[in-house]
Amino acid sequence: MALHPQCEAFLAPGAGAPELIDIPIATGRAGAYADMTISGEIAINVEILDRFIPGNTADILVRIYRPPGENIKNGMVYFHGGGWSYFSVDMYDAQLSSLAALTDSIIVSVNYQKAPEHKFPIPHDDCFTGLKWTFDSAESLGINRNKIGIGGDSAGGNLAAGVALRNRDQKLFPIAYQLLIYPCLGLDFETDSYKNNAVGYGLSKRTMSWLWSLYLTRPKDDENPYAVPLNAQDLVGLPATIIITAEHDVLRDDGARYADKLQSAGVPVTYIDYDGMIHGFFNYGKFIDAGISSRIEIAELISEALA
């Protein structure tokens, strides 16, 4: 269908503005903080606290969202988007406090180190460390160890998929589900969604290709499924998966192709493509209603997975 009017209005002020690839990385990072209310209101009944955990190459900031009640909670480890190079946990208070309340989950959001200063595998390792810390700390956090999922959007969806594969291979933790919101999963820039949405929908084909180049270190990384999950030859044994995509997004076919591969491997998959939406809509709740309503739908799917 056509671009949703709210998405059209959201994009209009930036028409003709330079893309991320055309401005200094520091400028792009600073610009992300221009409107800290872009995702909507923070759930007032959810406690938010920060702490640092030890990682392989640095201490890692994690932000923890705790819904009210003394009962043992569900859990989620979340990895934010931003092309592996931008954003931080600061941009996700509205989205994750809402999901914490809606799913009765304690959510641990991992502020992994960013490319290009810290290329693959460092962001991936930081996220895996966040997963391990959450499972190891489940009792002290008040989380049911058997009901911990992982999730992420865009580059965070890539990190979540890679972490799930590594965890499956190492047979470490009983991940209950993986939530992948418009994830970037492959290096094929000639899919229909890349061609149809190459320019004019926020995230361009040119910028997405450049972001991949900032993240990957060596040519052999292109074939590593922990970095490029669509390269995985075997998806058997992965957790139940929820994949969300947007119709007008270069990454739409990445999510659709991964859903097909997972289903072929016998993994339970729920795939939803949001008509008329653009990349990032989950983060734009102040301007795009689906950024809010999608949280409710995602929460219902998480509850089904946990049941």
Active site residue 154: yes
Among 153, 249, 253, 254, the active-site one is 249
Beta-carbon count within 10 A of 53 CB: 18
Q: Examine the pLDDT at 244 and tell me if it is beyond 90.
A: yes
Least confident of 73-77, 80-84, 216-220: 216-220
265 with 239: CB under 8 angstroms?
Answer: no
- At 226, phi and psi to the nearest 5? -70, -25
Among 39, 97, 109, 154, the active-site one is 154
Token readout for 304 is 């089904």
Q: Which amino acid, residue 196?
A: N
147 with 302: CB under 8 angstroms?
Answer: no
CA 214, 177, 102, 9 torsion-angle sign? positive
> Tens digits of per-residue pLDDT, 168-185?
999 999 999 999 999 999
Give 167's pLDDT tier (boundaries 50, 70, 90).
very high
Q: Give the domain range for residue 123.
A: 5-306
Q: Is the pTM of this model over 0.95?
A: yes
CATH number at residue 221: 3.40.50.1820
∠ CA 226-209-207, rounded to 5°: 125
Q: Examine the pLDDT at 14 and tell me if it is beyond 90.
A: no
Active site residue 249: yes
Active site residue 98: no
Overall domain count for the chain: 1
Count the alpha carbons within 13 Å of 301 in the hemisphere toward its beta carbon.
Answer: 23
> What is the SS3 assignment for 85-145?
CCCCHHHHHHHHHHHHHHHCEEEEEEECCCCCCCCCCHHHHHHHHHHHHHHHCHHHHCEEE
Token readout for 34 is 């221009």
Among 193, 204, 279, 294, the active-site one is 279
Length of the chain: 307
